[in-house]
């Protein structure tokens, strides 16, 4: 995100000495943040304007198979959901990096559990790198929400299931999967970037 902002801003102000750069590492930590530095003056209003432009470009080009996050957020899920806890944070948008915690089980057999982990698992909304049912739920949840999902096979591991591998239990074909899912954080939003700069212009 920071790179997109810098690339757009560089065209208008050639004297930018140190353009905004993304962090040098992307470790899976609960406090993953966007770090950026610049020696030129960038006001809060300009910063938010450029973030908005970059976010719109990402949502419309990088992930074209979805229309709008708002559409997903208001569409009922096609599988049972039990709301365990209601959060008060924002709802993820397409392209957001989201930290989640979860416990997955088939019947009484738990095959994955990071609900109590100090670090969440980070996923990109719209990437398709998680179970279909988990991604559909995340697009409708708020930060702080914890839901219990009952996923039919087509929203879980499908007719093929999952073979056993080191550290992973097998999932039988056509299994109904129960996932307790929590949205923990959305790093990289405007508030995160302003927090890095102290909420002031970058000088």
Beta carbons of 141 and 185 less than 8 angstroms apart: no
Please work out, in degrees rounded to the nearest 5, the angle formed at the alpha carbon of residue 177 by the alpha carbons of 62 and 130.
Answer: 15
Residue-level pLDDT at 49:
58
Picking from 110, 106, 81, the residue whose alpha carbon sits closest to that of residue 157 is 106
pLDDT tens series, the chain, 203 aa:
444 444 444 444 444 344 444 444 444 433 222 222 333 344 445 545 555 555 555 544 444 333 334 455 557 899 999 999 999 999 999 999 999 999 999 999 999 999 999 999 999 999 999 999 999 999 999 999 999 999 999 999 999 999 998 988 999 999 999 999 999 999 976 455 444 444 333 33
Task: Indicate the domain borders of the chain.
Answer: 2-67+188-196, 77-185
Tell me the pTM: 0.59
Which of the listed CATH numbers 3.90.400.10, 1.20.20.10, 3.90.1170.50, 3.10.50.40 matches domain 77-185? Answer: 3.10.50.40
Q: Are 33 and 57 in contact (CB under 8 A)?
A: no
Burial string for 25-57 (b: 16+ CB within 10 Å, else e) reads: eeeeeeebebebebebebeeebbeebbeebbee
Q: What pLDDT is recorded for position 201?
A: 31
């Amino acid at each position: 995100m920071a790179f997109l902002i810098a690339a757009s801003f560089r065209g208008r102000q050639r004297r930018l000495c140190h353009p905004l750069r993304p962090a040098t590492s992307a470790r899976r930590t609960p406090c993953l943040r966007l770090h950026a530095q610049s020696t030129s003056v960038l006001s809060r209003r300009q910063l938010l304007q450029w973030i908005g432009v970059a976010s719109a470009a990402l949502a419309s080009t990088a992930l074209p198979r979805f229309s709008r996050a708002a559409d997903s957020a208001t569409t009922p899920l096609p599988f049972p959901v039990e709301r365990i806890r209601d959060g008060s944070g924002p709802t993820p948008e397409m392209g957001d990096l989201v930290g989640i915690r979860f416990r997955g089980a088939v019947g009484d057999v738990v095959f994955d559990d990071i609900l109590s982990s100090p670090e969440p698992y980070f996923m990109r909304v719209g990437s398709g790198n998680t179970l279909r049912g988990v991604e559909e739920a995340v697009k409708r949840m708020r930060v702080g929400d914890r839901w219990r999902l009952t996923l039919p096979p087509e929203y879980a591991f499908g007719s093929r299931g999952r073979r056993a591998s080191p550290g992973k239990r097998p999932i039988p074909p056509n299994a109904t999967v129960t996932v307790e899912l929590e949205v923990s954080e959305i790093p990289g939003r405007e508030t995160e970037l302003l927090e890095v700069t102290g909420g002031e212009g970058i000088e």
